[in-house]
Structures are given as structure tokens and as C-alpha cells.
Structure 1
Amino acid sequence: MNQERMYEILLAPHVSEKSTVVAEDADQVVFRVKRDANKREIKEAVEQLFDVKVTDVRTALMKGKVKGFGRIKGRRPNWKKAYVALEAGQDIDFLGGE
């Protein structure tokens, strides 16, 4: 995989109550990823960017919410998230602290 594609795949870490619980209990990290990214690409991108060993990747396609703006109904776009399982003892620190 080329360097440019690797930086396009991972959009942002997904922070929620569920992702925090998963990170503490199961050594997993949750990312928002491009919709056309596959599990193999996600695994390679995380391993190269964060210098960790990935054991498993699970993906989920999240449906966009329907929102109302007065009489006008709109819809947010669908998006994809990836649950990335890390080897025991490994961690990704997004804050850059010690």
C-alpha cells in the first residue's frame, strides 16, 4: 500500500462511551475509516502509522441519521468504523503524553 492511501484510510479516532469501554476491557481502538477501505488496508495502516501489532479488525457500516430542518428533511451521510484489536500490552496514545 502506498503512503498516500495509508493516510487517507484512517479519518479519526472514534470517541464514545462504548469505544472507551472497549479500549479498557478488550485492548481495542475504534477508528472512523473511509467507506471503501477493507480490513487488510486498515490493519496495515494502523500497524505502520502507530507502530503496533494488530491481531484483528472488525468493521461496521453506520447508517446516517435523518435530521429535520423545519419542513425540510435531510440525511447525514453513512460512515464506516473499525474496531482494531491490538496485541496484549500494546496501546495507542492519541494525546502524545507519557
Structure 2
Amino acid sequence: MNLYEVLRRPLISEKNSVHATQNKYAFEIAKGANKRMVKLAVEQAFNVTVEDVNMLHIPGKQKRMGRNLIQTAGLRKAIITLKEGDKITLFEGV
């Protein structure tokens, strides 16, 4: 897997903006990515030093459309902790 395919999109929410003050940033990542791949991808893409990577798997939910049940897609999320003094400017001003 190419390192540029690992990070899908940044996750921007109120909770994640509070975490940004603690040098923690959240990204949606590809299904087959592991912690090493995520660390390398963030370090190359944003030119920062990653201290820790925590990963979560959020399962999809069942939704009802009329009398049919459908399964929504789940996602994988990575919370990146950066070295003190490093920032990702993508999250500023949101």
C-alpha cells in the first residue's frame, strides 16, 4: 500500500479540536493500514515527528429504509500524538 493511500481524510470535530491543543490529531485511515504505515505517512505528508499512534475501528450501523435494513460502512480512525512543539496547520482555524 502506498503511503499516500493510508490517510484518507482528517476528522474535524469539536472533540478533535480540543485534542489538537494537546498535540493529538485524528485521521480516517485505510482498512489495511497498520501503526507503522500511519506514522510514516503522517511524518512524510506533514513533516512532523510522531510520538504515538492509537487506532480505533468504528463498526458500521444498521439503518432502516422502509422495511429493509441496510448496513452502513464502518471506518478506521487513527489518533496521532505529535512531539511537543510540532503542529499540523491543516487543523488550525477550523
What is the TM-score with the length of structure 2 in the denominator? 0.91
Contact map agreement 2:12 2:91 (CA 8 A) in 1: no
1:90 aligned onto 2:86 = yes
CA RMSD of aligned residues (A): 1.7
1:75 aligned onto 2:71 = yes
Distance 2:51 2:17 in 1: 19
> How far apart are 1:96 and its partner, in Å?
8.4
Aligned equivalent of 2:61, options 45, 60, 65: 65
What is the TM-score with the length of structure 1 in the denominator? 0.87
1:5 aligned onto 2:2 = yes
Query: For this pair of structures, how many residues does the alignment match?
Result: 93
4+ runs deviating over 2 angstroms: none
> 1:40-55 residue pairs with structure 2 within 5 A?
40-55=36-51
Distance 1:11 1:22 in 2: 19
Distance 2:6 2:67 in 1: 36
Percent identity over paired residues:
38
Structure 1 unpaired stretches of 5+: none
Structure 2 unpaired stretches of 5+: none
> How far apart are 1:23 and its partner, in Å?
1.1
- Name the residue aligned to 1:17: 14
Contact map agreement 2:27 2:78 (CA 8 A) in 1: yes
Contact map agreement 2:29 2:78 (CA 8 A) in 1: yes
